[in-house]
Amino acid sequence: MSFEVATDSWIVDEESVESLARDIMQKINARNRLSRNTLAFSRADTQIRTMLTNFDDKFSKLQQQLVRDSQGYTVTRMEVERRQRLLDNLSSKRKQIDLSYNNPNVFVNNDYSSIGQRLGEAGTSSSSNFDWNENANANASRNMTVDDLRSQRQLLMQEQDKGLDILGDIITKQKYMAKGISSEIDTQNEILDDIHGAMDQTTDRLIRNTRNIKKVGRKADSCWYWVIIVLLLIAIITVISV
């Protein structure tokens, strides 16, 4: 049974950075063959500086992407550790590139072998030996077997299942909170309905009382009219009798 896994973009980018490191070393070796006071040396040096800047930018992006993948559980812990080893290997190469770049009199093979020994032969004070065999180990780690890939996928699926379980718990809690909010809204609506009914009753009472006040007012006006009429009659009778 065949088992295929799509190429990871991080691995592709890492291989690109590693290839860039080899190109930089080739450029440095070519520059170191030139005389320091020539225009060709200056041009080669400028080109190398540009390539080093590109290397640093890509290396930084690889580090940031690995952190995001680790925090987002998009790769397994085993794969994170393997990729970190690849980054450590690139970091070691970057340091050795700096040594070769800062010592133009030293020529380094494309396999980056024994830079410290060559620096000693050139009369420098460095006596460290640098082993670039990690490059072969890093490349070998990419050649994973079908069982390793299947195991890696299973681990990834298990971690994804854990993440889904956590997400399910969060959704369940949100559901209970939504039910509680809905119940509280229903209670508040009932209270508002009671207040609305009480306001309607109060409005009806106000209307009835207003009508009664108007009736009393009309009756009071009629009484005053009768009082005035009686007083006028009394005055007329008094005048006639005199």
- 119 band by pLDDT with thresholds 50, 70 and 90: very low
Is the CB of residue 107 less than 8 Å from the CB of residue 29? Answer: yes
The pLDDT-based confidence of 128 (bands split at 50, 70, 90) is very low
Nearest Cα neighbor of 45 from 88, 101, 84, 87 is: 101
| CB-based burial label for 76 (10 Å; 0-12, 13-18, 19+) | buried
Q: How high is the pLDDT of residue 99?
A: 87
pLDDT tens digits, 215-233: 766 666 667 777 777 777 7
Q: Where are the domains of the chain?
A: 9-143
Higher pLDDT: 1 or 151? It is 151
Average pLDDT over residues 3-26: 80
In SS3 terms, the chain reads as CCCCCCCCHHHHHHHHHHHHHHHHHHHHHHHHCCCCCCHHHHHHHHHHHHHHHHHHHHHHHHHHHHHHHHHCCCCCHHHHHHHHHHHHHHHHHHHHHHHHHCCCCCCCCCCCCCHHHHHHHCCCCCCCCCCCCHHHHHHHHHCCCHHHHHHHHHHHHHHHHHHHHHHHHHHHHHHHHHHHHHHHHHHHHHHHHHHHHHHHHHHHHHHHHHHHHHHHHHHHHHHHHHHHHHHHHHHHHHHHHC
Tokens standing for residue 225:
């009219």
Half-sphere exposure of 150 (CA within 13 A, CB side): 6
Task: State both tokens at 93.
Answer: 């190469």
pLDDT in tens, 170-207: 888 888 788 878 888 888 888 888 888 788 888 887 88
